[in-house]
Amino acid sequence: MTQMRRQSLVKFDAPLCETIIDAPKPQGREVLVKIERCGLCHSDLHIQDGYADLGGGKKLDTTRGMTLPFTLGHEIAGVVAEVGPDAPQDLIGTKKAVFPWIGCGKCRDCLAGDENLCAKNRFLGVSIDGGFATHVLVPDAKYLLDYDPLPTNVAATLMCSGITAYGALKRLVDRPRQRNLLLIGLGGVGMMGLSLAQAMFKQPIAVADLSPAAREAALKNGAAVAYDPSEPDVAKRIFKETDGGFDGVVDFAGNDKSMNFAVSTVARGGKIVVSGLMGGQFSLPMVQWIYKRMTVEGFMVGTLEETKELLALARAGKVKPTPMKEEPMQDAQKWIDQLRAGKVVGRIMLAN
């Protein structure tokens, strides 16, 4: 029996600890993947805490369906180690990225191809054990995706930060009024968004972040201009420089301050897509919403088909590499702490 190591959540709002167990035996169409890389995502912090901040002292329980000890991590790529009797046997030994946003397969959303909306989901690292380990059990071989000739770490990060950024940006493609674009929040998803936006849009891409290091990194990676949201009168400056604001805004932070900045800089008739999960509450006078004729759309991750679209784009060489740093899997908690402290630029990839 193969043994596996995992960085386990044994108590909510407590550090991870290493546990050793027997690796699960794949049944039916299940597949056991030996993990090579797994990315660290800001949503892993919410899962470790056991809640997401709704603002006003309210919390959203994120523990539904989870059994402790639990393994976080959903940006996974590795080598197929074993397959169930009903899965293709020739998968063994192949390198694959793992689509983690897996639904029940039976509900209205799943049957429409929107597994990422499933209320009874089986998201890896969110509802069932994920990738902060040496192995992961994938419910069906159809969620394994080819990524050659991409590096393994790049393929892994496309499974969350990539598809989140791609899907959010896709909601702004081909709008009749799209003179310019602003990306707010330059964490792992935001930096990926900057790379993808340059492949998906002809317009120059503006960015905004409170961190000078993040703004500098963005400028080095293709941003046309970088704004500090805390700068006095920055919204007035933006309206002057852009002749009325940004037609498209993506908020990759998703808190009250970032949304206030988005609303203050979006143009009349513009659209804001919110995909960050930092949390909190946001309110806006209805008259302002109507007079500005703005659209606000929430977005979280993408579908399996959208992930295949993204991989095709990346495999064709149309996506620039984003800032990324590899660290040992056993240091997962150390880098969770660094991410909480706002000391990470780009993505941390945990390696076995």
Handedness of CA 275, 339, 351, 317 (dihedral sign): positive
The verdict on domain 163-298 having CATH code 3.40.50.720 is yes
Bridge partner residues of 303 (DSSP): none
CB atoms within 10 A of CB 230: 10
The structure tokens listed for 244 are 């009325």
Per-residue pLDDT for the chain (352 aa), expressed as one digit of tens each? 789 999 999 999 999 999 999 999 999 999 999 999 999 998 899 899 998 877 788 888 888 778 899 999 999 999 999 999 999 999 999 999 999 999 999 999 999 999 999 999 999 999 999 999 999 999 999 999 999 999 999 999 999 999 999 999 999 988 877 899 999 999 888 999 999 999 999 999 999 999 999 999 999 999 999 999 999 999 999 999 999 999 999 999 989 999 999 999 999 999 999 998 777 788 888 888 899 999 999 998 999 999 999 999 999 999 888 889 999 999 999 999 999 998 888 889 999 9
Top CATH class of 3-145+322-351 equals: alpha beta
CA distance 98 to 142: 9
Instruction: Take residue 308 and report the two structure tokens written for it.
Output: 């295949």
Return phi, psi of residue 116, to 5°.
-65, -10
- Location of each CATH 3.90.180.10 domain in the chain: 3-145+322-351
Every domain of the chain with CATH number 3.40.50.720 lies at: 163-298
State the Cα–Cα distance between residues 155 and 162, nearest whole angstrom: 9
H-helix segments, the chain: 43-49, 108-111, 152-157, 163-170, 188-200, 212-220, 234-242, 256-265, 286-292, 304-315, 332-340
